[in-house]
Amino acid sequence: MRRDLRLYWIGQSSTSVGSAFTAVAIPLIAVQTVGATGVQMGLLTAASSLSVLLFGLPLATLADRLPRKRPWLIGAELVAAAAVGVVALGVAGNWVDVGLLAAFAFVLGCLGALTEAVYFAHLGSIVDRDGQTRARAHLQSGEFVGDLTGRGLAGPLIAITGPVGALLVNIGTRLISALCLVRIAAPERPTSPTGRRVRPADLLAGFRAIGDSPYLRRLAPFLAVSQVMRGMVAALTALFVLTVLEVPALWYGALFVVSGLCGLAGSLVAARLADRVVPQRLATVGFAGVAATTALLPLASGPLPLAMAVAAFGLGLPIFCGAVANVGMVGFAGRELGEEVLGRFSASFQLVGTLAFILGSVAAGLLSEIIGIRPTLWAAVVIGLLALILLPAARHGAGPQTAAPRTATPRPETSQSDTSQSETSQSETSQTATPRTEPDRTVQPQAAAPRTTAARRTGTGPDAVVPRSASASPAAETTRSTAWDGDPDRRAVAESPTTTAADNRPEVAR
């Protein structure tokens, strides 16, 4: 691993550790300290996504036009650290309430929208295009290791110091991440013009990229419906675990250790498959797995050890599948879309997914007050399974993986005096060249070569964010993979509006 990529890996892994502490602390603060109801938890979960809905496209358009992305990533880490510090002061001073937690989620959601948009282009300044899928898999593995470490240590630390100790850890890890970004030496390549004013049409470039891709065009409706499911599960996970299963606060963080292991395993599996399986196939299989395995969560019941085990896998297996899908989506985006539109593409997917996530979060809070928490989770599972009808087969993305037809190199013009000699030479050349070039026209479907801008625009692309989410909300912070990592305190991503489930972020990522 190159030095710059290693620094980026350390920084992102460090942030994942701290974000995991906050992901455990915030629901505990909301449920046990503030006494939040189901409706309030739904609104709190939606708050982080609201920022993406309001500012996602403008921030993505701005990010695509920034000549340098790294300073904005550094600034986002510092602002996020300050926001966590305000919440820590509120808890210590006993003046924290749902409003403060919602504002915290909103701020982190705004930061996540910006960092999500910048992420793809910045990764391209460290790793070349062909290596981005594998690099993303390594980064995601580090994030899951950090998440696993943080969740395993958060419970005991909170039992000793209270939620404030967990929040202080997050502040420290974000400062470490900012320092690692400062030390990256690779120069950034300008990716977009900055002299022209932003036009309204620029905001829609991401939607045009989705519309031009057969695979993405079919994938978008599925992701929208599946995000409703993820929003419902995200809103009720803490209430279900703490009040229905009655898991002690000390063990609440430990419950997600299995989730971290599953996410790490998914990233490692995706990394091994990245060079052998086309990215859209990884994405399709991963998304289908997320919908199917979410059904384990509402099945959790019985003695506490058994209930915790089933719930852990109900939260962890969707993350495993989401990690696979996220790597596939990031690889697909890096190959098929131009760098000048990646941020807006990610934001467009996030916008659609976030709207659906908010709808699911609010609906889950209201529905849980009427029919209960467990039945509402079952309703979410049914919605996710029905969404599979809309999931496109991987073959719909096969077009872009086939190299564009080769064009003959034009021959220089010859004078009339040389015509007869030229015709004879050309005839001999064509007879010799035809057998040589004919085999070259056959391209292996899985050997996706770098494409020209025109080819990318007619190709097929990735999640939303997929993608990866950078600094998102606390409620979403509990899960970092999904389609675009919708988890608040971290990047997903889509890069994806990916981007990601158990902690079920709107698949923005961080």
Task: Answer whether residue 413 is part of any domain.
Answer: no
> Residues 47, 109: contact at Cβ < 8 Å?
yes
pLDDT at 3: 83
- Residue-wise pLDDT tens digits, 363-388: 998 999 899 999 999 999 999 999 89
Amino acid at 344: R
Cβ atoms of 222 and 387 within 8 Å: the answer is yes
Structural domain contains residue 345: yes
CB-count exposure of residue 309 (10 Å: 0-12, 13-18, 19+): middle
Give phi and psi for 508, each to the nearest 5: -85, 155
- Please name the amino acid found at residue 83: A
pLDDT in tens, 143-188: 778 877 887 788 788 888 888 999 999 999 999 999 999 998 877 7
In this predicted structure, what is the pLDDT of residue 490?
A: 38
Q: 229 in a domain, yes or no?
A: yes
* Contact between residue 209 and residue 339 where contact means Cβ atoms under 8 Å apart: no
What pTM does this model have? 0.58
Quick: pLDDT tens for 211-234.
Answer: 777 777 788 888 889 989 999 998
Establish if 198 belongs to a structural domain.
Answer: no
The mean pLDDT of 252-273, rounded to a whole number, is 81
**pLDDT tens digits, residue range 279-302?**
778 888 899 999 999 999 999 998
Domains in the chain: how many in total?
Answer: 1
Q: Provide the residue range defining the domain that includes 10.
A: 3-187+206-398+461-509
For the chain, give the mean pLDDT: 72
Q: What percentage of the chain exceeds 90 in pLDDT?
A: 19
Instruction: Decide if 441 is inside a domain.
Output: no
Q: How far apart are CA 490 and CA 499, in angstroms?
A: 9
- Whole-angstrom Cα distance, residue 383 to residue 228? 8
**DSSP run (H or E) holding 81:** helix 70-92
Q: How far apart are CA 117 and CA 133, in angstroms?
A: 17
Dist CA 78 CA 303 (whole Å): 44
Q: Does the pLDDT value for residue 453 go beyond 70? A: no
Instruction: Name residue, tokens 């979403």.
Output: 476
Q: What is the dihedral of CA 276, 278, 280, 285, to 10 degrees?
A: -30
Which pair of tokens denotes residue 393? 């087969």
Residue 442 lies in a domain: no
From the CB of residue 385, how many other CB atoms can be counted at a distance below 10 Å? 16
Specify the CATH number for the domain of residue 386.
1.20.1250.20
Coil/strand/helix, residue 309: helix
